[in-house]
Amino acid sequence: MALTRRARRTYRLLAAHYPDARCELDFADPFQLLVATVLSAQTTDRRVNGVTPTLFGRYPDAFALAVAERADVEAIIQPTGFFRAKTDSLLKLGAALVERFDGRVPGRLGDLVTLPGVGRKTANVVLGDAFGVPGLTVDTHVGRLVRRLGWTEETDPVAVEHAVGGLFPRRDLTHLSHVLIFHGRRTCHARRPACGACPVASLCPSFGVGETDPAAAARLVRTEARA
């Protein structure tokens, strides 16, 4: 019970500190969010948002993507890195959506994770932000923060999802993901967290792993995401 209370209080404070916490990928429908999330692996949301207007302008749905020219897709998404592997995933993804789901993105976790290039992390992003189905997205930021905050010692993403999910009402999980990702990108960095500028420093058992001087820590805080 003590852990649950501390975790929920931490979430409330972070939510108040980041009132605009949301998915930072630009999208208009479930298909666009699914594709953008696949592209977001090993790159920044900003880079993905820079290429998706062109990509979706040429390939607005699964039917178009399924028959896209590989070289054209590669050229469009090259700035996101690993563009050949990502192109392969996107072409297979489009084909699978057409062949198995009539071109529509399914709204169930069990169906989503059967698609090429889609794991639980991507599925939870799509379910939470495109379909309103709550879920915890365990990316590198979320995994790092929940361990630093002492909510779990698990390292396997699925184990983290279940352990942390048990501390919160299910309805909060999607927004919790966004809040943690915002905090991880802006303040609680992987290499040098800004501990002295952290809004939940008093609740964090890892306080001191980063810069504790308030002035120095404030200089480490990012006003917008770069990762």
What's the CA angle centered on 46, arms 215 and 154, to 5 degrees? 70
Domains of the chain plus CATH, in order, are: 2-21+136-220 (1.10.1670.10), 30-130 (1.10.340.30)
Question: How far is CA 170 from each of CA 113, 160, 165, rounded to the nearest angstrom?
Answer: 20, 15, 7
- Give, as one character, the DSSP assignment of residue 80: G
Residues ≥6 apart with Cβ < 8 Å to 34: 93, 105, 112, 115, 118, 122, 126, 130
pLDDT value at position 227?
Answer: 44
Segment holding 137, helix H or strand E? none
Average pLDDT over residues 162-189: 97
Active-site positions?
121, 139
Task: Give the separation between CA 97 and CA 122, rounded to whole angstroms.
Answer: 15
Give pTM, 2 decimals: 0.92
Average pLDDT over residues 50-55: 98
Provide the mean pLDDT of the chain.
Answer: 96
Residues ≥6 apart with Cβ < 8 Å to 52: 25, 26, 27, 32, 35, 36, 39
Write phi, then psi, for 178 (nearest 5 degrees): -65, -40
**Percent of the chain's residues with pLDDT above 90:** 97
Question: How far is CA 33 from each of CA 78, 126, 131, rounded to the nearest angstrom?
Answer: 18, 6, 11
Average pLDDT over residues 51-79: 98
pLDDT value at position 225?
Answer: 53
What tens digit of pLDDT does each residue of 97-147 get? 999 999 999 999 999 999 999 999 999 999 999 999 999 999 999 999 999
What's the CA angle centered on 35, arms 47 and 89, to 5 degrees? 100
Nearest to 37 by CA among 20, 25, 46: 25
